Amino acid sequence: MLHKIGVTSGKVERRIANAKIDATFLLADVEVVATFELYNINRTKLENLIHRIFDPARLDIEIKDRFGNPVVPREWFLVPFNVVDEAVERIKDGSIKGYVYDPQQARLVERKAG
């Protein structure tokens, strides 16, 4: 259920090559569960949108990097993969607006107005 959700313009394999020495990857090897290709989209806005949706499930952790400096990784979320997949599909079809992740229900729900 722990997934790093981020956006990259390069190859994922290159991005994770040194994961076990990178605090962003919790100083551990990672397994690529899925990659998605989206076109004609602003990468920064996309990542901000995804992180907003899953913010209620963001991992709250501080670790020390290999030099002993504190790091707070911000791209790790406690969310089932099928919900990540649903969010990507909703981004593709434009229906993601107004949705947020509800950790109690472990699913996307419509965000309440207000």
pLDDT digits (tens, 9 = 90+) for 38-80: 788 898 999 999 999 999 999 999 999 989 999 999 999 999 9
* Percentage of residues of the chain with pLDDT beyond 90: 69
Give the C-alpha separation, 61 to 3, whole Å.
14
b vs e for 43-80, b when ≥16 Cβ sit within 10 Å of the residue's Cβ? Answer: eeeeeebbbebbeebbbeeeeeeeeeeebebebbbbbe
pLDDT at 2 over 70: yes
Entry pTM = 0.87
The pLDDT score that the predictor gives to residue 68 is 92
How would residue 114 be classed by pLDDT, with cut points 50, 70 and 90? low
The pLDDT score that the predictor gives to residue 84 is 95
Could you tell me which residue, 108 or 94, shows the higher pLDDT?
A: 108
Domain of 32 in residue numbering reads as 2-110
Give the C-alpha separation, 28 to 66, whole Å.
11
The pLDDT score that the predictor gives to residue 111 is 83
Q: How many domains does the chain have?
A: 1
How would residue 81 be classed by pLDDT, with cut points 50, 70 and 90? very high
